[in-house]
């Protein structure tokens, strides 16, 4: 069975609670799998919003 890729316009996605358990265990890995499968446009942006003050490098850790 082959999966059909439906083209998607570029988008911005804001994840509120971006440092939380749900984002780390489910949402971000799922989005990463979609990106690797070519199901997200390269220009899409994912923005994590949280109460803790982190820069991009701190968030990636």
Residue 28's pLDDT is what? 93
Structure tokens given for 58 = 């701190």
**What is the tens place of the pLDDT at every residue in 5-57?**
788 899 999 999 988 999 999 999 999 999 998 889 989 999 989 888 877 78
Specify the pTM. 0.75
More confident residue, 11 or 59: 11
Nearest by Cα to 34 from 13, 18, 52, 16: 13
Query: Beta-carbon neighbour count of residue 40 at 10 Å?
Result: 19
The answer to whether residue 1 scores a pLDDT higher than 60 is no
**Burial (CB count <10 Å: 0-12, 13-18, 19+), residue 45:** exposed
Domain boundaries, the chain: 13-49
The SS3 assignment for 16 reads: strand
CB 40 within 8 A of CB 6: no
């Amino acid at each position: 069975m082959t999966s059909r890729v439906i083209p998607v316009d570029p988008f911005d996605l804001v994840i509120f609670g971006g440092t939380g358990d749900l984002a780390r265990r489910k949402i971000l890995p799922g989005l990463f799998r979609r990106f690797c499968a070519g199901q997200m446009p390269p220009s899409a942006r994912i923005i994590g919003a949280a109460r803790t003050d982190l820069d991009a490098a701190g968030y990636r850790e």
